[in-house]
């Protein structure tokens, strides 16, 4: 059985909110003054009228009660309520200051808004639960068909079957007959229009690229006269998994297939700001420690205090990384060699201590300020070793899309790698970072790094 009362939701929602607003105003007045007899007399009569007028203007301008079924959820309803209430509070406050209405009770206003938000939220949640259950039982449904059969068509049908509370009822697939869809179609293109009329179809999903373009144009052209919605379903999932994004050139949507996931503006902006502030703090406050570490390094073994080495950064950019020297000079005179761990004979006794406590990495905050590195990110490697790693684990290339860091998940969980195989093992940890990176996750990695340094467990 198919009932459609959606047209009543809009006026009902308005009426309920006005009743809640006025009940809250009266309730707040009674709680504050223990009477309601004087609420309709000056000066509160004007405030009461203003409360309703402001809410009415909000409704007329913002049209807040129009929700697609896919967005008819508790979080959207409550967020919308909070936005409307915040605007209402702001306008009332401005009017209060403008008319110098300091004789109005602040406590009454606070109680009024508390009561209103509570009642309006309760009505919304209660109505949502009722409506979802009502639709799940088959009432107030929207009948839809899918034109163009394929995997994408099955996906949208599965979605609505998993969410019966949305009230979408599947009425069949339509496409040109083929061996792939034999026995699955409700009809072909020729039977589409009579079926739409006979079954009162509300929505047609057109699946690209399965649907014929000419037929899609016919469906679109007749949508208004036959009173149904047309929704174009395009399978962007493969592109989005690789970080594609949608750009708008005026009204024209353009799919950008370049990887944007790892260059998210908000994440990178916050991350870069933190890198600069944190690095400056370490370099300024830790300057005396830097001098002491440099002096000990110089006195305990011959050679320069700092050690510079070429590493590969984001997008293959070569840069020089700085460290306090922890090895004897000419340790790699025969070519690139991985450290054999803390027992490596090329490491000085003082260098062994610095590696255990990660103090040898401190000069890299200069690299962070220069923009070559970040505080948190996969450790940068030399091209020689990258080539070796890629032969075993080609997925390492994905880490070159992220700015390298002083510390990483791999550094915490694994530490220094003595062989290519160990570098690949550490890689398994670092591969977790790009998809999980966030400001809070970075803070967790920094906290774990400080713990490793304090315990001297670096290896």
**pLDDT, averaged across the chain:** 83
Q: What single string gives the DSSP state of each residue in 334-394?
A: TS------TT-TTB-HHHHHHHHHTGGGTTHHHHHHHTS-EEESPPPB-HHHHHHHHHH-G
Q: Do 283 and 322 form a contact (C-beta atoms < 8 A)?
A: no
pLDDT at 148 over 70: yes
Sheet (strand 203-208) strand order:
185-187, 168-174, 142-147, 203-208, 229-234
Q: Scanning the structure block, which residue is given the tokens 């209103």?
A: 116
Task: Write out pLDDT tens, residues 293-344.
Answer: 999 999 998 889 998 989 999 888 999 999 999 888 876 665 566 665 556 7
Bridge partner list, 232: 206
DSSP 316: G
Minimal CA–CA distance to 53: which of 10, 83, 95, 81?
95
What pLDDT, on the 0 to 100 scale, is given for residue 53?
A: 95
Q: β-strand 306-312 against 318-324: which pairing, if any?
A: antiparallel
58-73: per-residue pLDDT in tens?
988 888 876 666 667 7
Quote the tokens at residue 169: 């009822």
Q: How far apart are CA 318 and CA 341, in angstroms?
A: 25
Q: pLDDT tens for residues 337-384?
A: 666 555 677 888 898 888 888 888 899 999 999 999 999 988 888 888
Residue 312 belongs to what H/E stretch? strand 306-312
CB 170 within 8 A of CB 155: no
Concatenate the DSSP letters of all residues of 148-164 into one string: S-SHHHHHHHHHHHH-G
**Helix, strand and coil percent figures for the chain, each rounded to 5:** 60, 15, 30
- Is 20's pLDDT higher than 60? yes
Query: Would you say residue 260 has pLDDT above 50?
Result: no
CB–CB of 50/92 below 8 Å? yes
Q: In 10 A of CB 16, how many CB atoms?
A: 15
- How far apart CA 22 and CA 257 sit, in angstroms, is 52
Please compute Rg for the chain using Cα positions.
33
- As a whole number of angstroms, the distance between CA 139 and CA 371 comes to 59
Q: Count H helices, E strands: the chain?
A: 18, 11
How many Å apart are CA 443 and CA 11, to the nearest integer?
49
DSSP run (H or E) holding 229: strand 229-234
pTM above 0.75, yes or no: no
∠ CA 166-168-174, nearest 5°, is 150
For 255, list phi and psi in degrees, rounded to 5.
Answer: -90, 115
Q: Taking residues 24-43, what's their average pLDDT?
A: 93
Tell me whether strands 252-256 and 142-147 are parallel, antiparallel or unpaired: unpaired
CATH fold of 142-235 reads: Rossmann fold (3.40.50)
95-134 pLDDT, tens digit each: 888 888 888 999 999 999 999 999 999 999 998 888 888 8
Is there a contact between 342 and 354 (Cβ–Cβ < 8 Å)? Answer: no
Structure tokens at 179: 């061996």
Task: Indicate the domain borders of the chain.
Answer: 6-136, 142-235, 265-455
């Amino acid at each position: 059985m198919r009932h459609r009362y959606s047209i009543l939701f809009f006026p009902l929602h308005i009426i309920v909110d006005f009743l809640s607003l006025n009940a809250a105003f009266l309730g707040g007045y009674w709680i504050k003054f223990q009477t309601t007899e004087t609420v309709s007399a000056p000066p509160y009569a004007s405030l009461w009228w203003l409360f309703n007028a402001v809410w009415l203007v909000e409704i007329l301008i913002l049209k807040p009660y129009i929700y697609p079924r896919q967005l008819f959820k508790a979080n959207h309803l409550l967020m919308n309520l909070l936005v409307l209430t915040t605007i209402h509070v702001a306008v009332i406050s401005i009017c209060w200051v403008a008319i110098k209405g300091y004789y109005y009770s602040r406590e009454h206003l606070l109680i009024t808004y508390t009561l209103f938000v509570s009642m309006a939220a309760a009505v919304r949640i209660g109505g949502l639960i009722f409506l979802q259950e009502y639709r799940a039982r088959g009432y107030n449904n929207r009948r839809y068909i899918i034109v163009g059969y394929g995997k994408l068509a099955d996906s949208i049908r599965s979605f609505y079957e998993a969410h019966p509370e949305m009230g979408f009822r599947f009425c069949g697939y339509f496409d040109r007959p083929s061996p792939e869809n034999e026995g699955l179609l409700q009809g072909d293109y020729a039977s589409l229009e009579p079926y739409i009329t006979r079954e009162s179809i509300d929505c047609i999903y057109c699946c690209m690229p399965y649907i014929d373009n000419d037929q899609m144009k016919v469906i679109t052209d007749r949508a208004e006269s036959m009173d149904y919605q047309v929704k174009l379903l395009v399978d962007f999932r493969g592109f989005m998994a690789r970080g594609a994004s949608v750009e708008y050139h005026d009204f024209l949507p353009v799919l950008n297939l370049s990887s944007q996931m790892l260059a998210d503006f908000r994440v990178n902006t916050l991350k870069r700001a933190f890198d600069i502030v944190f690095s400056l703090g370490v370099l300024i406050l830790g300057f005396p420690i830097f001098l002491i570490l440099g002096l000990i390094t110089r006195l305990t073994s011959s050679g320069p205090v700092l050690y510079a080495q070429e590493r590969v950064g984001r997008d293959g950019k070569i840069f020089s990384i700085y460290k306090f020297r922890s090895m004897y000079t000419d340790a790699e005179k025969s070519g690139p060699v991985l450290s054999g761990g803390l027992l490596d004979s090329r490491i000085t006794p003082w260098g062994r201590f610095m590696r255990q406590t990660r103090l040898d990495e401190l000069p890299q905050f200069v690299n962070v300020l220069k923009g070559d590195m970040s505080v948190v990110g996969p450790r940068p490697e030399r091209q020689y070793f990258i080539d070796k790693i890629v032969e075993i684990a080609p997925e390492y290339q994905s880490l070159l899309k992220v700015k390298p860091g002083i510390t990483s998940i791999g550094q915490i969980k694994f530490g220094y790698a003595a062989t290519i195989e160990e570098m690949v093992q550490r890689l398994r940890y670092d591969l977790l970072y790009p998809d999980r990176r966030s400001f809070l996750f970075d803070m967790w990695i920094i906290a774990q790094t400080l713990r490793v340094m304090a315990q001297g467990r670096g290896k």
